[in-house]
């Protein structure tokens, strides 16, 4: 939940997949990317985990390059 000031700071949000959310905001002139994750648990198979971590790594690389 965001207050009115916080809502105006949000520049973009995107669901990368069902377990990864990217939120781009500007706070006091600084650009900030927040990545929210809900990681697979031990009950999920290796394929699900590998796909999740590949997607997460891709988002981290994009965020670090400033290309988001």
pLDDT in tens, 11-36: 888 898 889 999 888 888 888 888 99
pLDDT at 68: 56
Condensed to tens digits (0 to 9), the pLDDT of residues 33-60 reads 889 999 999 999 999 999 999 999 998 8
pLDDT at 1: 58
Domain, as residue range, for 27: 4-65
Tell me the C-alpha distance between 36 and 68, whole Å. 15
Tell me the C-alpha distance between 63 and 68, whole Å. 6
- Find the helix or strand (DSSP H, E) in which 40 lies: none
pLDDT at 29: 85
pTM of this structure: 0.69
How many domains, the chain? Answer: 1
b/e per residue, 20-58, with b = 16+ CB within 10 A? bbbebbeeeeeeebeeeeeebeeeeeeeeeeebeeebee
- Per DSSP, the three-state class of 46 is helix
């Amino acid at each position: 939940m965001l207050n009115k000031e916080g809502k105006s700071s949000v520049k973009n949000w995107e669901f990368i997949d069902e377990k990864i959310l990217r939120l781009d905001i500007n706070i006091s002139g600084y650009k900030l990317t927040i990545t929210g994750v809900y990681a697979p648990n031990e009950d999920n198979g290796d394929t699900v985990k590998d796909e999740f971590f590949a997607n997460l790594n891709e988002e981290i690389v994009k965020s670090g390059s400033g290309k988001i």
